[in-house]
Amino acid sequence: MSDLLAAFKKDDAPSKRWLERHLDHQDREFCLIWPLSRAQNGYPACGSGNAIRPHRIMCEHRHGPPPSPAHQAAHSCGKGHLGCVNPWHLNWKTPSENQFERYEQQGAPKPRWRLTIEQVDEIRAMKGRERTVDTATRFQCTEANIRQIQSGKTWRHDRMEYRQWTDQEIQRIRALPVGVKGLVKDLAKEFGVSINTIYRIKNAQSYRHVNPHQGNCK
């Protein structure tokens, strides 16, 4: 039995029963769609807090444990977000291998691995305001990368000027008249950031998703 499946040992949940019936699924061609709950990105999920990922259980049953804790259960069919758990469609891949394969399947541009400080600033500000999968798509990087940035595991605070901006503050900065350096300096002092940060926001080099005309700027 899979070590991951053992997490269900004390629980005769429908998800456990379904997995046990399909571990040795024989059809290699068509996707096997998970019929129960999904995570926000569409991937199968179950257990307390959706912490157990059925496609990883299927991959481990067929290929053995992952080579490292970082390895992901990658879908050769490209249908993981649609709920496929067919063990014949799964293999262990590193996050970068999995992401590049995903972009090839979708015919999309390769992910941009090198982020700017402005982009990291914005990614941190989107925590809790946007789904991780949507932020990752917008910045062309992995969800794992987004989570590491937002948790402070990468791009440490001492390497960047970070502030949690609200939409109203962004709109206020964007409403500044052109060429008024004194107002820019005053806002930089008020918000505790550099003048360059204010200019980047005003010129839409960062926080491009914020509509400058939405709401009232005071």
- The predicted-structure confidence for 60-113, as pLDDT tens digits, reads as follows 999 998 888 888 899 999 899 899 999 999 999 887 777 777 766 665 555 555
- The predicted-structure confidence for 173-210, as pLDDT tens digits, reads as follows 888 887 767 788 888 888 887 787 888 788 877 776 66
Q: List the domain boundaries for the chain.
A: 5-106, 111-162, 163-218
* Residue 137 host element (H or E): helix 132-139
Q: Which of 101, 97, 73 is nearest to 87 (CA)?
A: 73
- The predicted-structure confidence for 120-169, as pLDDT tens digits, reads as follows 878 888 888 888 888 887 787 778 888 888 887 777 554 445 566 788 88
Q: To the nearest whole number, what is the mean pLDDT of the chain?
A: 79
**pLDDT for 3:** 55
DSSP E strands, 87-157 = 90-93
Q: Are 138 and 125 contacting, i.e. CB atoms less than 8 angstroms apart?
A: no
Q: Are 184 and 198 contacting, i.e. CB atoms less than 8 angstroms apart?
A: yes
